[in-house]
Structure 1
Amino acid sequence: MCPAPDALMLFAAGFGTRMGALTATRPKPLIKVAGRALIDHALTLAEAAAVVRIVANTHYLADQIAAHLAGRGVRISAEPERILETGGGLRAARPLLGAGPVFTLNTDAVWTGPNVLKTLRAAWCAPMGALLALVPPDRALGHTGPGDFTLGPDGRITRGPGYVYSGAQIVDPAGLEDIPEAVFSLNRHWDRLISEGRAFGVIHPGGWCDVGRPESIPLAETMLRAADG
């Protein structure tokens, strides 16, 4: 039986420039969708999945995020000098996350249907180095393009059109320390795992919306209302 991750990294450090004026005075994770901050939608998933340790990285308007999360059991991995991107940010947060594989969630998306973290946990097993939650392009609200990954019959992924990465995954950070740059994307790590045949995907069967632009907010709210109704 494969040990399930018990730690979660929330990516919350970005400038949110695609949001325009909405992020002039507040960070993107605190933009409200259906009356709740985006980061709270992510935290609801984590709480329902009984994740033990939660860490959020911060940079832009970091004090606002820290104040919003105060008293909620979320530890802060501050990046005061520069944004380290997803790979560098995860590596910097490892002392707070503990050893072994971890969940990661982008904080600029919302999900409906089965809890995406529970779906990932149920599908996770060795020899996986990463397990990405994917959605087909026709269910990827707020997203354009043909998709990021092709999903093979054995669950392994390769680069190419087919499925969209939903911003939720389990990943083993082992090997991040071998990347010399301080600032880098997790794409670097994924490419190595793909070459080793250790990158897998699982399809999220519910709804998903990328809330990266202002026009995506009503899309997400409509999706959430439909799920509640």
Structure 2
Amino acid sequence: MSKRIRHAMVLAAGLGMRMRPITDTIPKPLVKIAGKPLIDYALDTLKDAGCETAVVNVHYLAEQMEAHLAEYKGMEILISDERDVLLNSGGGLAKGLKLLPDVEVFVMNSDLFWIGETPGQPTNLEMLAGFFDADRMDMAMLCVRLEDTTGHDGKVDFAMDDDGRLVRYRPVDGVMPAGEGVVYAGAIAMRSSLLADAPDGAFNLNIYFDRAIAANRLYGLILQGHWVTAGTPEAIGAAEEAVRRYS
């Protein structure tokens, strides 16, 4: 558990279409939940885990994002500029990782977060850093049980076996995979060099998830606490109630 990951990338360049009309005038990562911008939940979580540098990609209303990030204290923030073309999750990550050395990194989504970690115990990201083993894994994902979510659509993403190995939660030849059904919680530990062979332009990060599954190198760790996402304006109230209940 003592291993620290000091570099990260936060994916924050999406258009936030489902959050309109709020996102007509502000980017989704700056939408506030319980008075705090969504991206600050991600950045604070990284900082609490000992992260020192975070790349953040920007596209929609990028000037607002840059102004907000310039004021963030306690971590170096590097901007990966996608103003000219939006690169999707995989292309955006591949571009942003070029600003970091070849090291172990966290990858975080900017539009979800978790609460209710146990004070005095390792944080979820600290546990994920300790769990990740580059010799055996391409990626280690933070995952959450469906009953520990607020705002999720009910879809289960992966099946996790007793060792933490992940496969897609869908039937193969009519048979569902063994293991516990879990939801991807939007945080990954990996080496930045994993995407060194990435194609140019926009692509979805699911390409690398499936490649890791095929090689038996995608693993997951169950999140401690409660996971929150707010995809629409109507979901903000439930998210704020979860913050009050679990914080």
In structure 2, the partner of 1:148 is 157
1:84 is matched by which residue type in structure 2? L
* Aligned residues of 1:110 and 1:220 also touching (Cα < 8 A): no
User: Does 1:107 pair with 2:110?
Assistant: yes
Provide the secondary structure at the position in 1 that maps to 2:233: coil
User: Does 1:81 pair with 2:89?
Assistant: no
Runs ≥4 in structure 1, deviation > 2 angstroms? 1-5, 113-116, 171-181
In structure 2, the partner of 1:210 is 229
* Aligned residues of 1:116 and 1:168 also touching (Cα < 8 A): no
In structure 1, the partner of 2:147 is 138
State the distance in 2 between where 1:2 and 1:128 align: 19
User: Does 1:20 pair with 2:26?
Assistant: no
State the distance in 1 between where 2:192 and 2:205 align: 10
Deviation string 1:147-166 (CA, Å, 9 cap, x unpaired) is 00000112110001611101
Relative to the length of structure 2, the TM-score reads 0.87
Q: Residues 49-198 of structure 1 correspond to what in structure 2 (within 5 A)?
A: 49-72=49-72, 73-114=76-117, 115-125=123-133, 126-160=135-169, 162-198=181-217
User: Does 1:45 pair with 2:45?
Assistant: yes
Farther off after superposition, 175-184 or 53-62: 175-184
1:222 is matched by which residue type in structure 2? E
Provide the secondary structure at the position in 2 that maps to 1:185: coil
User: Does 1:227 pair with 2:214?
Assistant: no
2:61 is matched by which residue type in structure 1? L
- Per-residue deviation, 1:3: 5.8
- Per-residue deviation, 1:70: 0.6
- Per-residue deviation, 1:38: 0.6
* Aligned residues of 2:102 and 2:191 also touching (Cα < 8 A): no
Structure 1: runs of 5 or more not aligned: none
Indicate the percent of aligned positions where both proteins have the same amino acid: 39
Deviation string 1:38-86 (CA, Å, 9 cap, x unpaired) is 1111111111111011110000000000000114321100111111111
Between Structure 1 and Structure 2, how many residues are aligned? Answer: 228
Deviation string 1:124-181 (CA, Å, 9 cap, x unpaired) is 1231110111111122211113300000112110001611101111123434243434
- Per-residue deviation, 1:2: 9.5
1:68 is matched by which residue type in structure 2? H
* Aligned residues of 1:2 and 1:124 also touching (Cα < 8 A): no
| Residue 142 to residue 52, structure 1, CA distance change in 2 (3 Å) | same
State the distance in 1 between where 2:24 and 2:206 align: 28
2:167 is matched by which residue type in structure 1? T
1:82 is matched by which residue type in structure 2? V
2:186 is matched by which residue type in structure 1? G
Relative to the length of structure 1, the TM-score reads 0.93
Structure 2: runs of 5 or more not aligned: 118-122, 171-180
State the distance in 2 between where 1:107 and 1:38 align: 6
Root mean square deviation, CA, Å: 1.7
Provide the secondary structure at the position in 2 that maps to 1:202: strand
State the distance in 2 between where 1:216 and 1:98 align: 38
2:184 is matched by which residue type in structure 1? Y
- Per-residue deviation, 1:102: 1.2
